[in-house]
Amino acid sequence: MTGMTVPVCSMNSTGDIYLLNQDLINAANTAIYLNTQLNSMYYTTLNMTELNDFQSNNLPLLEQYINVHGTTHMSYCSRVTSFKSNFYLRNILQTYVQPFVIFFTIITNCLISIVLNYPTMRNSTNIILLGIAMCDLLTVLLPLPVYLCFLTSNIFSENLTIFKGYSVTYLTTILPTVCHTSSIWLTVLLALQRFIYVQFPLKANQICLCQWRSVQLLIILTVLAGLLLQLPHMIVMHFINALEYCFLSSTSSSSPRLPPSSSLLPPSSSSSSSSSSSSSPPSLSISNYLFDSQFISYLFNTTDKINHYNYIRFHKINLMKCTPMSQTIFFTLLLIRVLIVNLIPCIMLTILTGLLIMALRRFIQNRQKLLKINNHNNNDNNNNKSITFYKNNINSYIIHKKYNEMNQLEKSDQSNQNEINLLNNQLKSIKNNKNFKKNHYVII
């Protein structure tokens, strides 16, 4: 027997059969198993009984879902070949920049969490800071295992399964987005709380945003709101396996068939000389099958052939990511996310920051006015104190001077008294003198 060429699949004759139930999954696994046996052993272990069972039992089941190709279900599904990004710049960022950012974020947020957990640090403001730190920490911790696998292995590039699809999506997209959204709105809550403390310092403790229990409840509601924003994505998005196939036609003269009575035998038993002369096994054909070195092509059981093709070939099972929603709903959800997660928080933070700056300026101006009044009063008090001090000093000086004068007068009076006493003594002594009279006359 001479070798032949099996027709090649064209782009417009390929499609996917979505494995929506266990029967389809079993049929697809059987088709891939038969291809594996054919490809690995070159027909030597291919069991015709299994092939006929697949042709009669599993192939009709798969044929019922062939028309899924091109329907709306297909339009919302995309084939996942690898979870690694093929974008060069993104690979550079994930390989060289992201590890340092993750390391720095983990260290700083862990330290912040430890410090803010001290009993003395527990207040309505610090609990918001603790919530922000925990959300930022989870934002980098959740995708960390997947990123490490990207750098160290090909576990998310080969043999993709539904479990791997959900793991990558939830750990790298959905849950980090929930944490990041919660962190953004907790930052808005913190800015609002700071504005209240500055604008209403005396009434702040009576407002719910500044109370311990109320802040705890607001943090929980913020996280639930972030989870609610991702709920439509979590509900709609799903992964499913799909069996890739293509159509073939054997009407060409280049595809001769063996007689229907021919049985599939190993190449050595049919023609040892021709088998030894070729390096690869020849392509064989019988009425219900076409064979080459990799795939088995099956004849349709249906009488109506699809687009004049009468053979189908199953290639492999692919992982599909499906998001079955209309473009209007998708655009609406995207717009809501942009508004709630990006635009509104930025506007609120800008407004609150501006109001906070204005309130701080008013506070500083009022403080300066109070300081000026206090300084003026202090100056008046100092002037009064100075005048009083000067008066007291003058009075003390006058009193001291008068006291000195009085002392001097007393001393002078005492000296005069001494002189008088001296004169009196002299007079007494003169009187006692015997020549008093004589001397008296002489003096006169």
Phi, psi of 299 (to 5 degrees): -75, 140
Identify residue 184 by its one-letter amino acid code: I
Query: CA–CA separation, 255 vs 274, rounded Å?
Result: 19
Residue 174 three-state SS = helix
- CA angle, 244 then 250 then 255, to 5°: 115
pLDDT-derived band at 189, boundaries 50, 70, 90? very high
pLDDT computed for residue 253 by the predictor: 35
User: Where are the chain's structural domains?
Assistant: 1-325, 371-437
Residue of 84, 355, 77, 376 lying closest to 240 (CA atoms): 77
Contacts 24+ apart (CB under 8 A), 61-67: 61/23, 61/24, 61/27, 62/17, 62/24, 62/27, 62/28, 62/31, 62/243, 62/245, 62/314, 63/300, 63/301, 63/302, 63/312, 65/17, 65/18, 65/20, 65/24, 66/15, 66/17, 66/245, 66/306, 66/312
1-325 domain in CATH 1.20.1070?
A: yes
The per-residue pLDDT for range 301-347, each reduced to its tens digit, is 554 555 555 778 888 888 888 888 888 888 888 899 899 988 999 99
What mean pLDDT is reported for the chain? Answer: 74
pLDDT computed for residue 166 by the predictor: 92
- For residue 241, list its beta bridge partners: 319
CA distances from 423 to 334, 419, 434 (A): 128, 6, 19
Contact status, residue 124 vs residue 215, Cβ threshold 8 Å: yes
The per-residue pLDDT for range 154-178, each reduced to its tens digit, is 888 778 889 999 999 999 899 999 9
pLDDT computed for residue 224 by the predictor: 95
Greatest mean pLDDT among 94-108, 169-183, 291-305: 169-183
Query: CA–CA separation, 186 vs 168, rounded Å?
Result: 26
Exposure string of 23-36, with b = 16+ CB inside 10 Å and e = fewer, is ebeebbebbbebbe
